[in-house]
Structure formats: structure tokens, C-alpha cells
Structure 1
Amino acid sequence: MRQNPQRRIALLDAAIEVLAREGSRGLTLRAVDKEAGVPTGTASNYFAHRGDMLTQVMRRTRERLMPDETALAETMKAERTQELVVTLMGQLVERLRTNRSCHLAMLELRLESTRRPELNEELSRFLGAELENNIAFNRDAGLPGDDAGIVVLYLAMWGLLVDHLTVPGILEPWSIDQLIEEMVPRILTAPSADTD
């Protein structure tokens, strides 16, 4: 059956919204059809089964969360300092704010993967590759911090984003920007100039 690529994207975006709002139990092909405003049965023409839809949703969230290449190139004109990393992390938070549903959907996918081994395998492979890409980006761009530091920063940022999405009240004494400004230099310590 011939499929419309724009409709597939619309269905995936609808699935992200349903997943973020209703959780994995509420994500059905019928719910996606309703959210997308298409005739009942449309989603079943695009996804072989629910597991297929979940895997495609995972990939679509990443497409929506990728930084704009032109904006990133402009940002990367700056000197390779911890301040640049703070800027990059701030831009990540801004993408979270404008694509909140994508992050919530990814949280739901992580939880669902604990019950679906095939999704867990796919998600682990996907997120592992994403982390490796982040490490390679940092290394290739000459940003401060070693590979382990980037992994620790990833973990710290993920924790910050999860709290900001789910229980933001616990962070109220501090702004996200302040926390990032504190976090980056503590994690990505500059190498010692003393090589004795």
C-alpha cells in the first residue's frame, strides 16, 4: 500500500502527544487516529503493530529535538570554553521547553521498555548511539571535558530535565540556568596546566 510521508509524520506527532498526555496505556492506534484527526483505521495502514509505532515514535522524538544546523553552526563559532558548553546545555533546555511532549513521550518509552524486551533492545541501542554521538561531537569540536565527563554531564542533565518536567517545584529555589552554570564547571573541570 502506498503511504503519504507527511501523513506518517502527522500520525507520529499525534502519537507523541497521546503518549505524553495519556501514557503508554493510552497509546492505541485508534487514539492516534483521533488525535491526528484522520479516519479510524488510518494508523493501522502506517504501523504494522503497536511495537512498530513505539519504535517510530522514538525516532521521531529525536528528529524534533535535534538542534537547527544553522543555529548550531552559529553557536559553535564561539571559543571552546566551559561557557560554550553552558550555552549548549541552555539551548537543550530551550528545546525541551518548546518540545515538552517529546521529552515526556521519551520518559514513557523508557518505562514501557522495561516491560517490552524488544523495545528495550531498540531503545538501548538508539540511546547508546546517541550518547556515543554526543561524546564524539564534544571530542571533535574540541570542547572541554573528557569522554567520562561528557557521560556524567549527560546523566546530570537528564536528571535535571526529568525533575524540570515532572516535579519542577523541587527546583524552585534555583533557576535552571543557574544550575547549569554551576553544573558544567564542576563536571567538566579544566585539565591541570601543571604537568610535572
Structure 2
Amino acid sequence: MGDHAARVVIPWERVGDTVTSKVDRREANVLRGLVGQVEGMLRARQDATPQDELAELTGIRTGMSTAPEDPILSRLLPDFHRLDRGDGEPSKEERDSAAALRSLHEPELLDLKTGVAGVVLDTCPPEGGTIRLSLEQAESWLSAVNDVRLALGTTLGVTEDMPEELPPDDPRSPHLGVYQWLTWLQEHLVLALSGDDELP
């Protein structure tokens, strides 16, 4: 799957306020499957949030106060307050601040991320075919594809110095091809939105 996906060319074309492309069934299945998995993880996080009786009274939604233990969710939902000072353990005040900020902002971030995933699932034809996006939808695609890249990159342990190809017996090898394909897809969608047709 990965080798095929890495070679597939998905040209994006912008005409006015519309961005179009085409995908075949296999490409659509890969993309929809990955986006659906990420969306499912994010919705599970939403569903696990304790009910807040004060939210209805104040109109302020609150979320989890602790960071996700899952490394993928932790990457997608990072702390809103830096705790890695490099000079020892954070103070109680810093931990409390991080917890309060997460509780306040995570619901909105989850809404945003599940929302852009939903746009991809709504506009990517399951059987393949033409993708036709408004500029707003295209921006949602960029965000959703980036989330999938972050999730897959975390799973694969992608680093800046990782080679473009892994040994055939490395179990990560085919999945790295998918990661590279997503990177290519994202880069060319950025170029289409900016009106530039070619990578430098």
C-alpha cells in the first residue's frame, strides 16, 4: 500500500475560489481510513470528558485537565502551557496553570479537529472520483491531513534524519510511503491555494 501511495500523483488545480483534484478508489480508501481513525480517537477523547454541571449555567465548556496518555493524542493535543523548562520539575503553580488552560481550550480544539476531519470525509468520494473544494474546505483538508501526518509520524517515530526509504524487512517501511504521500499531498495543496503550480 505504501509504495503505491508514495508514487501516486494527485494534481490540485485552483480555478477562482474552487480547488479540484481526482482520486482513485484506493487513494480514497487510504485517506478516508486514516482521517476516520484520527477522528475516532479525537471523538473518544471528547466522549471521555466528564460532564460539567456548571457549563450550562456559565456557557463555558470545560474539558480534560490532564494531557492524554496516548502518544498520538498527546501530539495532536499538546499542552497549552510549556512545562519543559529544562531546569527540573515544573512547580505546582505551573502544573495548575497548564491544567486550567487545557480544560478551557481543549474542547474548542477538539471541535476544530473533528470538524476538519468531517470535511474530508464529506468531500472525499468513497469510490474515488473528483474532489471539488471551496477555499474554506481546502483549508480544512490541509489541517486534517496535517493531523493524520502527525499521528502517523508519531507512530512511525519519524525524525528529520530518517531516510526516505527503510529496509524492506522494516515493518514501518510501507507505512513510511503513506506518510511521504501525505506530505506530498499537503505540499501541493498549499501550492494550489497560493496559486503556485510547481514545487521549487
TM-score by length of 2: 0.30
Higher helix share: 1
- When normalised by structure 1's length, the TM-score is 0.31
Q: Which has the higher contact order (CA 8 A, sep 6+)?
A: 2
